[in-house]
Chains A and B, each alone.
Chain A
Amino acid sequence: MRAAAAIRERPPPVWTSNPPWAQDRMQFQQQHTESFGQFGLLSITDSTAYTSVPARQAFATEQDAPVNSTQHPHAVTHSPSPDMQQSPHNTGNAESTRQKHNFPPALVNYVTRAFLPENGHPEVDSPALHHKLKQIINGAAEHAGLTNVDWDNHPLPQQVLLREREQERELAREEDRERTRQREQERARQREQDRARQQDRDRGSMQRKRARSPSPVATSSSKKRKSSDLGPSHHDESPHGQANFGGNLDERVTYPIREKLSKKQRKRLGAADQGRGTYAGEVEARRRERFRVTTEPPTYLVSPFTPAPRAIPPPTNEEPIVGTCLNLEKPYFRQGDIAKAELVRPVHVLEKTLEHLQRKWQQDKDYAYVCDQFKSLRVDLTVQHIKTPFTVAVYESHAVIAMQMKDLGEYNQCQTQLHALYKQNLGGSPQEFLAYRIFYFIHTCNRVMMNSVIADLTPEDKKDPAVQHALQLRSALTLGNYRKFFKLYLTTPNLGGHLVDMFLERERLAALASLCKGFKILKLRYLAELLGFATIGDCYQFLVKFGVEQHISKLEEVGGQLAGKASFPLFEAAKKAAFGKVDIMGQK
């Protein structure tokens, strides 16, 4: 026992310089700290799914110096000058330039106020402010008329911006959740548990420290702690970890070394320790030691699905609110936790809005605007807990428009919602959209989801021509029956063609790779018909895109023929590339 104590008191020689194995271990940990840092970044980009506005400072300071440097917290320090009032319009669109002379004085006043330094906000820089101001004024000019707006009480652009960002931040999380709902729930709860447990542990470790200090064992362990405080040098080597863990990192880096040492000591103590209970105090101390190390989960344990700080919605709106806003159009912004009735439109207005939007889409085809309006419409439905056939109609309309514009991110959100809505038997066209859903999963090569689509098929679904068509198309692709696939493509019902178009080129390449391998000579006429091109010319245009021009011969005599063997590697590479870049989430 005395010998053991002597060993314990002797300062361990390796603590000052790290032995090679410790270095390895540290490197390993740092690597993982870094990879965690990347995850951290990811989660940040998740929550800022918008790119149009500058990065928030809160994150920028932590993560990204360049972004920070482009920000001018006090950029809005210009004194109001006369030409400043018109500055938004100098770059504005032609329409607003034409109307230059008709600015009501209230508007001029409003613009002036917007640029007053005392109204500036550190988070809103000048370009963003200009942009927003332009948006507000153009929006007003287009929809309400400049004279009809109460400019004196209209929120300033920076206020609008800040609110939007706040909402978008909220929304980004919400949207994320829509897609990966299950995973996200998991994250949030885990996060909460982690926090709770962390608090528990903090509390616990404090108590333990206090409890331990009078005991003789504590002196040695406190000595250890002191030595480990040499640690902070590692701290600087891991910039990513810092943001996430702050001062805790050094502790984690050095702990294992220390732990190993203490274990070594323990080994030496081993013999004296055999009789259980005799040295119960020491056994306990060892275990405490073991525990102390784990107060913080090591870097690689922090779950790879980095929890985004999403609060589970507080039960503030127990009763769904009923909106009182009567505007037909409303720009999209996320309602906060507590929706304000005066900013929400009631159903009877929303119904008109839908008609209006559909008309507007037919007329102008201004997708950015219509999409924004639809999102705002969806939010209004959500905050009022409206789950009716009308809700289905809104999502169907938006899905169709998004699909036509190849905005797969938005389409996928609508589709996910529709899938859940159809289960509640609210009408709509479940089969039509089921067919789209199949196309979507073909496009994203999502076999897991495709499996569940097939699993969920009802006999009724299987009888529907659109669904049958989609299933046949899928099966033709899987079985490599290209001819059937392109034939089916030409007869795609409803609007499914828009989705099939997304993977048409990819499948053409797959077909070409296969055909070039099998055929020595491929006539362009044959190819054009087989691959569903309208004309031989189209087919030719498509082929030369992939650099096979020199392998096409006899253009005059037989309308062109492609040398299979020579072209094969080109198409094979193009096919691989095309399949490789499919974004699984369908995001732009």
Chain B
Amino acid sequence: MEAYFAEVREALATQDGYRLAQTMTPVAPSDDPDRLHNFHRGCTAFDVQNTIRQAIIYDNEAHIPPSEGSGFVDVYVAYWKVLGVILAAEETTNGGEQADWVNVYNCWKELASIVNRHFDNAIFTAWSLPCLYVAGKYLRSYAILADEVAAKGNIKFNYGLSDDVVDGMAKHDYLEDASRKLTDFYKTCAGDRGPLDDESRKWGIYYIVNLQFKTYFKLDSINLSKSVLRSLQALRQDVPDLSLFPLSQFVTFKYYEGVIAFVDEDYKKAEECLNEAWNYCHKGATKNRELILIYLIPCRMITSNVLPTKALLSASPNLGSLFEPLVTAVKRGDLAGFDAALEAGENAFVKRRIYLTLERGRDICMRNVFRKVYLAGEPVPSPEDQTVSMRPSRIPIANLVAALNLVSRHNEVFDSEDVECFAANMIYKGFMKGYISHEHQIVVLSRTEAFPGTGI
């Protein structure tokens, strides 16, 4: 208990925000697993206010300004209160029963509001921003838990007279509520109109924005993420450059920016952002690297028709199982295999919103089939120089039909008109150079770079 307060005072005195934030997480540090219990048992509801006031303000060797001091007293009192609820909930959960996470969420929200208010009122300054991060981070976590409880039907919601016949069957009431609170956090950070020095609250903006993204993605409302981005775009001149923020925040932000662009089909921008995220992502953060690759791989496939190497995929078992079959099928020009892989992974792909993008990989797959047909052609002497032999540039459509029917599923039979369609598409999309002669039923390929980017 005393050690705990000593830690708080120390953090306050040295203005070490991250250290201070560690004293208000709902997770005990590994070197002092009983800290939460001890702190909570150390006071009673009756004397908690005084105890903390004593510890922070009266033992004030740190010379904290009074307003800041009483601000932190408010925070720690709220923290003490929520700890009681959290510890009880954890106990219930350990006992195998349903804990009242809704209550936990509401109490934590109180704490979060206090922290936010003190920032908004400029009682806390930039160095203690990590406290805001902690408040926001666990607000989100507890909201998710509370939603789970609510979804199990322990708590019923009734919004009264709803707009149309069907009322909102909202499954994420608490998370939505949390997202609104995070918007307040955002405004608190962005609303600091002081100069961009070390004291500006704007230094908190990217952490909060990342939390917002995370929340909105969970809520499945990409549009809200986009409006955050727009708002941030408008602020750009007034916010320190992203590159000055901690790398973790930079990488997370770039990841979300990339995924938002990806969903918008802006693959060029998505690739740019994801590449940056990938380049700066910590080598050991396997999970994050995997997440980045899930979008970067389809992205690269669309923008430059590049497929991931075996080595990259094998680095992570998840990625391997997700993409391996599809990638192999594309490389081999195995249409049936491609369709099967797409179908098998449909749920996983749809969940990550990459299904519709991966589907377009079929073009590359088909290109590879056409390319193989071209390569299989018996070399003939070049018209200019009889001593040089070259592959025939005229490919009968019948050959392509036969090849496609060989690799496609048995229930899918193509005829020459289908193939003409495909060939026209290949040419249009730049996978293949040449033209089609409907009359002669041949595809005439360019003598140079018939299949651009494939070495032929």
Within 8 A of A (CB), among B164-183: 164-166, 168-170, 176, 179-180, 183
Contact A447 B263 (CB under 8 A): yes
Pick from A276, A293, A478: contact of B360, CB below 8 A: A478
C-alpha gap A335/B194 in the complex (Å): 49
Q: Cβ of A309 < 8 Å from any Cβ of B?
A: no
Within 8 A of B (CB), among A237-285: 255-256, 259-260, 263, 275-278, 280, 283-284
Residues in B whose Cβ lies below 8 Å from that of A519: 420, 424, 435-438
Main secondary structure of the interface of A (DSSP, over half): helix
B229 to chain A, nearest CB (A): 10
Q: Cβ of B422 < 8 Å from any Cβ of A?
A: yes
| Size band of the interface chain A makes with B | 35 or more
Known: A417-B166, A481-B418. A313 touches B424 (CB 8 A): no
Contact B421 A483 (CB under 8 A): yes
| Size band of the interface chain B makes with A | 35 or more
Residues in A whose Cβ lies below 8 Å from that of B362: 479
Q: Cβ of B62 < 8 Å from any Cβ of A?
A: yes
Contact A317 B351 (CB under 8 A): no
C-alpha gap A34/B436 in the complex (Å): 54
Contact B165 A421 (CB under 8 A): yes
Q: Cβ of B243 < 8 Å from any Cβ of A?
A: no
Q: Cβ of B356 < 8 Å from any Cβ of A?
A: yes
C-alpha gap A484/B408 in the complex (Å): 16
Pick from A300, A318, A481, A564: contact of B421, CB below 8 A: A481
Contact B165 A391 (CB under 8 A): yes
Residues in B whose Cβ lies below 8 Å from that of A520: 435-437
B298 to chain A, nearest CB (A): 13
Known: A263-B194, A284-B65, A378-B165. A517 touches B427 (CB 8 A): yes
Residues in A whose Cβ lies below 8 Å from that of B438: 519, 521-523, 526
At the interface with chain B, which of A121-129, A351-359, A381-389, A536-544?
A381-389
Q: Cβ of B163 < 8 Å from any Cβ of A?
A: yes
Q: Cβ of A448 < 8 Å from any Cβ of B?
A: yes
Pick from B180, B191, B347: contact of A294, CB below 8 A: B191
Known: A276-B62, A287-B123, A517-B428. A382 touches B191 (CB 8 A): no
C-alpha gap A539/B168 in the complex (Å): 47
Q: Cβ of A154 < 8 Å from any Cβ of B?
A: no
A588 to chain B, nearest CB (A): 20
Encode B430-445 as 1/0 by CB contact (under 8 A) with A. 0000011111000000
C-alpha gap A289/B273 in the complex (Å): 38
C-alpha gap A448/B166 in the complex (Å): 22
C-alpha gap A311/B326 in the complex (Å): 50
Find the B residue at minimum CB distance from A264: B195
Q: Cβ of B44 < 8 Å from any Cβ of A?
A: no
Residues in A whose Cβ lies below 8 Å from that of B237: 28
Contact B234 A300 (CB under 8 A): yes
Pick from B66, B192, B350: contact of A290, CB below 8 A: B192
Encode B195-208 as 1/0 by CB contact (under 8 A) with A. 10101000000000
Q: Cβ of B355 < 8 Å from any Cβ of A?
A: yes
Contact A190 B163 (CB under 8 A): no
Contact A287 B67 (CB under 8 A): yes
Within 8 A of A (CB), among B289-348: 346-347
B417 to chain A, nearest CB (A): 5
Contact A421 B166 (CB under 8 A): yes
C-alpha gap A297/B121 in the complex (Å): 13
Find the B residue at minimum CB distance from A526: B438
Pick from B63, B183, B219, B420: contact of A277, CB below 8 A: B63
Residues in B whose Cβ lies below 8 Å from that of A526: 438
Encode A459-475 as 1/0 by CB contact (under 8 A) with B. 00000000000000001
C-alpha gap A319/B162 in the complex (Å): 12
Starting from the known contacts A312-B159, A337-B161, A483-B421, 15 additional A-B residue pairs (CB-CB under 8 Å) come to: A183-B223, A193-B180, A197-B184, A277-B65, A284-B66, A291-B121, A291-B122, A293-B194, A303-B227, A313-B161, A391-B165, A421-B166, A514-B425, A517-B427, A520-B437
Return the 5 tightest CB-CB contacts between A and B, nearest first: A277-B63, A518-B424, A291-B122, A420-B166, A315-B160
Q: List 30 A-B contacts (CB under 8 A).
A: A174-B163, A181-B163, A185-B168, A185-B176, A186-B180, A204-B121, A255-B193, A260-B194, A263-B195, A284-B66, A287-B121, A288-B122, A289-B122, A291-B123, A293-B192, A301-B187, A301-B190, A305-B227, A313-B163, A387-B166, A391-B165, A420-B169, A455-B347, A455-B350, A475-B359, A479-B363, A482-B421, A514-B427, A515-B424, A518-B435
